[in-house]
Amino acid sequence: MMRHFGLRPTLLFSLIPTALTACGSSADPADSAWKAEVVVRDGAPLLVVNGHPRVPMLYRENLPYRRQAQGIEHYAHIAKTGVDLFVFPVGLGLGQSREQREQSWSQYTDPGIEQILRATGDRSLVLLLVVTTLLRNSHRQWAQEHPEQMMVIPPAMTPGNRASVSSPLWRRMAAAGLRDLAAHVLASGYADRIVGYCLCGAGGEWLDYWDYSPVARDGFRRWLRRHYQEHDAQLRDAWRDPRAAFDSAELPHWNEFFQADLGLFHDPARSRRLMDYFEFYHEDLAAAASELAGVLKKAVHGRQLVGLWNGYFFFPGWSPPESGIFRRRQGAFDKLLADPSIDFFVAPYSYRERHPGGVFLPQFLNDSMRLHGKLAITEEDTRTSLVPQVEDRYNPARSQTPSVTIGDTFGLAPTVEETVAVLKRNFAGCFSKPGHGLWYYCLGNNGGWYEHPALRDTLRRLRQIAEHELRAERSASQIAVIVSNRSLWYMKLTRFVDDLIMRQMTEGLLRVGAPCDVYLDTDLQHPRFPFDQYRLYVFLNTFYLDAAQRRLIKRRVEARGRTVLWIFAPGLIAEQSLSLERLCDLTGLQIKLAPVNLRKGFEVVVNDFDHPITSALSRNTRFGTSNEVGPVLWCEDPEARALGELMSTDITGGVATLRRPGGLCVKTLDDWVSVWSAAPNLPSALLRGIARQAGVHIYSDGDDVVYAGRGLLAVHTSYAGPRTLKLPSRWTAYDPFEHRILAKNTSQMTIQLPARRTILLLRR
């Protein structure tokens, strides 16, 4: 029986209930005034409900959907802060009949949503979090009847706990479940209070895992047929294997992923089979996610949002390489960005250094999302001071001395004051960028992570700032960081990528003292890419660049007096081969290569401090990696200036002591400046020197984390002391938490800041 949940519409947003027929079914939503959508205005994606913008700030509890009502007082308290969007989990009941699913939704979903809406007021809306994964432990009979549809995990080839993302049966079941759920919701009395759906599938967040199941092998064979257009001869030529055939193609042997042709790299001319597998591995998951998003978007008649957990790039380096960034099936994210059925993406912020005094770094590529008109929502699962402090599970002495601990739970903020500082930091990291929002997540099953007056007051103030102070304007960043998913397909499984990506961002780029935007390399080909906005381009791991990308970089990036920072081997890999010549042409530098792997890594020692880039550095500045690296590259260009020497002591590859000038060099060309480093992990002071020389506005040179928008500036500190903040124009700087003006009509101000605190300033 249909429940009509008669809630009054607010005057501000005119929430018009979905028209219902007398027999209890909803009218066609296409005839209804109700619509939630993401609209691009002035280049920024906005959440819009019935024509009115809504601030994308949400709240989520971790209680199972059958127990959501146990945390209802938390929802009510959060609603009083002004946060009026709530996340509610829903199961699809895969393997059940439609009648069984309807019964479960009527018994648990409907009462839970209605209770939340009653407790949170007339303005509140709900986003449904839909789990599409089919798990073995909850669908044992189905898994036993369809063992070939369940994933298989290498290298031991053990049965996995979920259906393979390549399973056609699982995809059909998930699609049917989504259609049934959408029909159930549209026929409910709360249909006009559902803002949309977020799909959480495969491995839990559309990440998935290595899979050697029979259906994965069959999916690979189908992909090969499409890719090579049913021509066995093309497959044999590409693989250099006269016996290769579509019907007998196998997944690569696990050990092949730990080998390479040149240093850390696979050669496309010799190892195309591995490249093909990686392309399939990522595209197959993207195809499944896109297929289900399309099914759901059609089922809701395009009147509600559809989003995914996806777009992850900045993974913490806490696991073996085969379990880290290489396993995460995010490499075809560019295809999902182009999917019109997907409105938004969700991901938590990085777990590396999220503690007070640390950094806020979204795990996904929110700037790429903005460029493509997609809303970015960061899951704000900060461990507040109200989280029960548990013993560190990595403490080897805990059984003997249980009171001893060597850590905390993912950067737990130990005091209310430090929790407030982290919440302000993370808010600024989100809302200093257009098209970016967040949801607060009480991850513990008891909830209540914000049940303190100071924390709820902080949420209230932040919500007010987002509502009244921030406008949809373009990013204020003058630094563009370019990263590559595809380049990872051409590498052996290695920890070196953590140096290139995570460490370079968290320890270096985020502490320059100026904001930066991060894009996929494929975004450079987007017709609206804002080339002229940036004065410094940093190419982090762009080892693979096709011919069109190289031409575009030379024409649009290497121009107008810009500075380009290259790290390690940019452009070494192209469509068919490895080529040092292409690397040299791209960077404008004469680079030399030795086909040597150094198992203990190498470092650059800065030895020229007379250049503006290095003049402010410590005279013992050195940086690099202790992970295996290869090939060894250095610059021998008579027109370039060497700022540092490449050094290593390693007996692998016949090398005892490596010393080469040109490990760090700079060269002024016709209309741009090329800076190249053989090693990653450039320290923040060096990056700041490069940025300042490029003309980037530096807000602070204190190695603090700085987030800046057109009308917002936030500084999060790791140490106490005075800070001189340089503003891009004359500001009247207002502190909305202290309710006072700190400086009037000024472009520079000096203030005293405590350690592990955030100062958040608005321009008046």
* Averaged pLDDT score across all residues of the chain: 90
pLDDT, tens digit, for every residue of 335-377? 999 999 999 999 999 999 999 999 999 999 999 999 999 999 9
Domain boundaries, the chain: 29-214+282-468, 231-278, 479-694, 705-763
Tell me whether strands 85-91 and 57-61 are parallel, antiparallel or unpaired: parallel
Confidence at residue 402, expressed as pLDDT on a 0 to 100 scale? 53
- The answer to whether the beta carbons of residues 287 and 167 sit under 8 Å apart is no
Query: Which residue(s) pair with 676 in the sheet?
Result: 566, 665
Q: What are the E-state strand segments in 527-618? A: 536-539, 562-567, 591-594, 602-606
Cα angle value 612/616/617 (rounded, 5°) = 115
Q: What is the dihedral of CA 225, 230, 236, 238, to 10 degrees?
A: -70
pLDDT, tens digit, for every residue of 593-641? 999 999 989 999 999 999 999 999 999 999 999 999 999 999 999 999 9
Question: How far apart, in whole angstroms, are the C-alpha atoms of residue 472 and residue 752?
Answer: 31
- For residue 253, how many other CB atoms are within 10 A of its CB? 10
Name residue 584's amino acid: C
- For residue 272, how many other CB atoms are within 10 A of its CB? 18
pLDDT at 302 over 90: yes
CA atoms within 13 A on the CB side of 553: 29
Residues contacting 651, CB < 8 A, separation 6+: none
User: What integer is the mean pLDDT of 648-674?
Assistant: 89
Q: Is the peptide bond before 155 cis (omega within 30 degrees of 0)?
A: yes
Q: What are the E-state strand segments in 443-554? A: 479-483, 516-520, 536-539
Query: Which residue(s) pair with 60 in the sheet?
Result: 87, 441
Residues contacting 411, CB < 8 A, separation 6+: 351, 353, 354, 355, 356, 358, 382, 383, 422
User: What integer is the mean pLDDT of 43-66?
Assistant: 89
SS3 per residue for 636-700: CCCCCEEEEEEEEECCHHHCCEEEEEEEEEEEECCCEEEEEECCCCCCHHHHHHHHHHHCCCCCC
Query: So what's the architecture of 29-214+282-468 in CATH?
Result: Alpha-Beta Barrel (3.20)
Confidence at residue 392, expressed as pLDDT on a 0 to 100 scale? 43
- The answer to whether the beta carbons of residues 300 and 306 sit under 8 Å apart is yes
- For residue 93, how many other CB atoms are within 10 A of its CB? 20
Q: How far is CA 443 from the centre of its chain?
A: 19
pLDDT at 10 over 50: no
Pick the CATH number of 705-763 from 3.90.1150.10, 3.30.300.30, 2.40.128.720, 2.60.40.1180: 2.60.40.1180
Residues contacting 85, CB < 8 A, separation 6+: 54, 56, 57, 58, 59, 124, 125, 126, 127, 195, 439
Query: Which residue(s) pair with 158 in the sheet?
Result: 153
pLDDT, tens digit, for every residue of 511-565? 999 999 999 999 999 999 999 999 999 999 999 999 999 999 999 999 999 999 9
Confidence at residue 47, expressed as pLDDT on a 0 to 100 scale? 96
Confidence at residue 389, expressed as pLDDT on a 0 to 100 scale? 61
Confidence at residue 448, expressed as pLDDT on a 0 to 100 scale? 87
User: What integer is the mean pLDDT of 711-739?
Assistant: 95
pLDDT, tens digit, for every residue of 277-290? 999 999 999 999 99
DSSP run (H or E) holding 181 = helix 168-186
* Lowest-pLDDT range of 8-12, 111-115, 379-383, 389-393: 8-12
User: Where would I find the H helices in 66-166?
Assistant: 72-79, 98-104, 110-120, 140-145
User: What integer is the mean pLDDT of 379-391?
Assistant: 82
More confident residue, 762 or 403: 762
pLDDT bracket for residue 693 (50, 70, 90): very high
Question: How far apart, in whole angstroms, are the C-alpha atoms of residue 374 and residue 463?
Answer: 21
Question: How far apart, in whole angstroms, are the C-alpha atoms of residue 167 and residue 420?
Answer: 45
- The answer to whether the beta carbons of residues 476 and 707 sit under 8 Å apart is no
Confidence at residue 674, expressed as pLDDT on a 0 to 100 scale? 98
pLDDT at 153 over 70: yes
Question: Could you identify the residue written with the tokens 């001395």?
Answer: 401
Confidence at residue 457, expressed as pLDDT on a 0 to 100 scale? 97
pLDDT, tens digit, for every residue of 186-238? 999 999 999 999 999 877 788 888 999 999 999 999 999 999 999 999 999 99
Confidence at residue 363, expressed as pLDDT on a 0 to 100 scale? 95
Helix axes 272-299, 232-239, angle to 10 degrees: 130
* Lowest-pLDDT range of 237-241, 468-472, 682-686, 758-762: 468-472
pLDDT at 405 over 80: no
Confidence at residue 400, expressed as pLDDT on a 0 to 100 scale? 54
pLDDT, tens digit, for every residue of 740-749? 999 999 999 9
Of 641, 639, 658, 646, the closest CA to residue 622 belongs to 646
Question: How far apart, in whole angstroms, are the C-alpha atoms of residue 665 and residue 478?
Answer: 22
pLDDT at 17 over 70: no
- For residue 424, how many other CB atoms are within 10 A of its CB? 22
Cα distances (angstroms) measured from residue 365 to each of 40, 232, 315, 331, 542: 18, 38, 12, 12, 15
Confidence at residue 30, expressed as pLDDT on a 0 to 100 scale? 47
Question: How far apart, in whole angstroms, are the C-alpha atoms of residue 549 and residue 543?
Answer: 12
Domains 479-694 and 705-763 share a fold: no
pLDDT at 13 over 50: no
pLDDT at 317 over 50: yes
Give domain 479-694's CATH superfamily. Answer: Class I glutamine amidotransferase (GATase) domain (3.40.50.880)
pTM of the shown model: 0.94
pLDDT at 383 over 70: yes
Between the two ends of the chain, the Cα-to-Cα distance in Å is 54
SS3 126: strand
Structure tokens at 49: 């409900």
Name residue 428's amino acid: A
